Structure 1
Amino acid sequence: MLTDLKAQSPDKILMLIEEFKADTRQGKIDLGVGVYKDPQGVTPVMRAVKAAEQRIWETQTTKAYTGLAGEADYRNALARMVLGDLPADRLASVASVGGTGAIRQALELARLANPGVRVFVSNPTWPNHLSIMAFMGLPYTEYRYFDAETRGVDFEGMKADIAQAGRGDIVLLHGCCHNPTGANLTLDQWSEVVAILEKSGAVPLIDLAYQGFGDGLDADAEATRLVARSLPEVLIAASCSKNFGIYRERTGILIALADSTKGRDLAQGSMAFLNRQNFSFPPDHGARIVSTILTDDALRADWAAELEEVRNTMLGLRDQLAAELRELSGSDRFDFIRHHRGMFSRLGATPEQVQRLKTDAAIYMVGDSRLNIAGLNRDTVPVLARAIIDAGI
């Protein structure tokens, strides 16, 4: 049987990681993998996370299963962080295996509700979105999003394309810090998106993987909160990997907002059912870290302060890189880097230019020219800026 399996196409980002590891050149720079790194190149364990783990270790008396939906304290605390005031009469939620698991469960839920569902997804988007949908056999349509000239959002194209979604279709939206481009909608533009979805009856699925990495914890949730209070049905997939730095704990949540208590209860039961079919009970350690932090005033304040340090570090690197490139190029054509938000920016370079960066300067980024700003430090920014100019970008 096993010899009848077909070889699967390798993940390009994972391939890039292995290629970087095998490169023996001194001074190589990894801007491909999507994890935050401090100026020393380490992905640190946050202070509040360490303190929460210590508390859990000292007080936890059992490793018995949690409920199918995960612990209520975790789900309520994280949903409140995302939405602010909780609309309890509308809200269903389940703990998931990371944000990726929440996306998968959301798409499964949509297919349960509408076997003919279509998914509208931004061009470009996180490649795993497309991979998951292709594996599930879900039909999807790309909507215009990134303007290669301005390195901003092609909003008119986006509006025209998502207006083609119909009732019961899914429109997948990035809540903040768009991956891979770093280009975000304004709040006024989000209001226009809401109006289009309200007219069509399509359901938004918001991927909120980077809350706190852009303009701040609450500011990054403003768009999601606007959608949640404006539309009758909304799906939200949120991740704790980045903002709590607990990547390997695979901690996420799927939130469903319904237009009635009946819809809420049906969604809650269906999401618990999907958990049972896919992995049974969700993992608890990361979820317990998050709930411990969010329900303790001192831990939450320390976590929020460290998250702000992370955010401001990335903003400082953006400003530095844009300034270096302005000086070297004698133009403002790279100022979009300063205006993008989150870990990523898309340079708009060709695959050949990206290859030149790798070959000539040992600088690794994804082939579509997505670079991870958090992979830089103050010393490597000038190296990258010079290499970008030398590559003819």
Structure 2
Amino acid sequence: MFETLKTRPADGILVLMQMYKDDPRPTKIDLGVGVYKDATGLTPIMRAVKAAEHQLWEAQDSKVYTGLAGDPAFSDAMIRLVLGDAVARDSVASVATPGGTGAVRQAFELIKMARPEARVFVSDPTWPNHLSILKYLGMEAVSYRYFDEETCGVDFDGMLADIKQAKAGDVVLLHGCCHNPTGANLNLTQWQAVVDALIETGAVPMIDIAYQGFGDGLDEDAAATRLVASSVPECLIAASCSKNFGIYRERTGLLMAISQNTQARKLHQDTLAFLNRQNFSFPPDHGARLVTMILNDDALKADWMAELEEVRGSMLGLREQLARELQRLSGSDRFGFLAQHRGMFSRLGASPEKVVEMRETHGIYMVGDSRMNIAGLNAETVPILAKAIVETGV
């Protein structure tokens, strides 16, 4: 039977990673892979995570399953982190998942189960795995305008016009903060207009929030998600702990299904648990346990928040340094958008040909659509990148 299998296209980022490894130039810069790196090029374990792991090692006396939905304490802690007091707790059904990707996948499975004909409106561009999973599940994806190539900001008029084409029962997929791959984000006034459009059309929002705390702060980055969740009849939220807790390999995420009809919560909870059972059964617990311990311990939480703020400040400083250096070298303010973008990523607006030229001539490795990971830079490599951008004529 296996002779019928077909070779799948290689993952572009994995190919890029291998090309970077094979490049002998000492001045090469990796801006492709989507993980946070400190100034030394490492992805460190956060202090609070280390402390929680030590406590867990001493206290944990069993590795038995926690339940199909994961530990309820993890759900409670994450719902408080993401939603605050924006919605009543009894309006939220939730399940732990293997990372934010697992939450996205389970959300799409839920949509397909509830309404097989639903279309999912997706920003152009978006995280490639959104489209890959939708295609694999045989679900219809409809793109809406998002990134303005001229300004490197949001084409909000185009976005709003496109999502207004959604109908009741369709789903509009939104990035809660730190848009991946562009770094361009809506302000709260624009988010309110999106909410009004969702209410007008009857479409259901699905929010993917993978970078809370990487943009403007924990509460600031959650503000849009809280606004949407508190304003619409139904909402799905896929949350990831990979970035803001630095526990990538622990695969820790949460899917939330929110409804103003609180009497439906049991049905929603049972359905989410059923989907977990069909997919991977019991979700992983180690990362979820650490997150729960950190969020429920005042000292651990304070240390985690302080280190997360250091991470956020570091990326913001690199953005501002790069924008200043480009202004100095080019004599133009046209790269000022880099300081306005938020999160790990920015889309430079370079053509694929210019991206290849920067890689071949200067050893600058970024994804073909010119998405670059700002956290792949440090104070010494910013001038190298700026020089490459200007000399390539981006």
Query: Percent identity over the alignment?
Result: 66
Q: Does 1:367 align with 2:351?
A: no
Amino acid at match of 1:59: A
Return the offset for 1:89.
2.3
**Which AA in structure 2 matches 1:163?**
K
Deviations along 1:180-228, one digit per CA (max 9) or x if unpaired, are 0000000000000000000111000000000000000000000000001
Where 1:21 maps in the other structure, the secondary structure is helix
- 2:8 corresponds to 1:8: yes
Q: 2 CA distance for matches of 1:89 and 1:54?
A: 33
2:58 aligned with 1:79 = no
Alpha-carbon displacement from aligned partner over 1:236-276 (angstroms, at most 9, x marks no partner)? 00000000000000100001101212322211111100000
Compute the TM-score of the two structures, normalised by the length of structure 2: 0.99
Say yes or no: does 1:17 pair with 2:14.
Answer: no
Match of 1:70 in 2: 70
The aligned residue for residue 60 of structure 2 is 60
- Counterpart of 2:44 in structure 1 is 44
Q: For residues 112-151 of structure 1, what are the structure 2 equivalents within 5 Å?
A: 112-151=113-152
Q: Distance in 2 between matches of 1:121 and 1:367?
A: 20
Q: Equivalences for 1:1-393 in 2 at 5 Å?
A: 1-85=1-85, 87-393=88-394
Question: CA RMSD for the aligned pairs?
Answer: 0.7
- Worse-superposed segment, 13-22 or 323-332: 13-22
Query: What are the ranges of 5 or more consecutive residues in structure 2 without an aligned counterpart?
Result: none
Instruction: Decide whether the 8 Å contact of 1:213 with 1:343 is kept in 2.
Output: yes
State the 1:33 CA deviation. Answer: 0.3
1:101: how far off? 0.6
* 1:10-44 deviation per Cα after TM superposition (whole angstroms, max 9, x unaligned): 11111111111111221211000010000000000
Query: Does structure 2 retain, via aligned residues, the 8 Å contact 1:234–1:258?
Result: yes
After TM superposition, the runs of 4+ consecutive aligned structure 1 residues lying more than 4 A away are none
User: What is the CA–CA distance in structure 2 between the aligned matches of 1:126 and 1:310, rounded to whole Å?
Assistant: 22
Paired residues, number: 393
Hey, what's the Cα distance between the residues in 2 that align with 1:298 and 1:252?
Answer: 23
1:304-330 CA deviation, whole Å, 9 max, x = no partner?
000000000000000000000000000
| Secondary structure, counterpart of 1:89 in structure 2 | helix
SS in structure 2 of the partner of residue 218 of structure 1 = helix
Letter in 2 for 1:125: T
The AA in structure 1 aligned to 2:363 is A
Q: What residue ranges of structure 1 are gaps of 5+ in the alignment?
A: none
User: 1:89·1:260 contact (CA, 8 Å) conserved in 2?
Assistant: no
> Which has the larger displacement, 257-266 or 115-124?
257-266
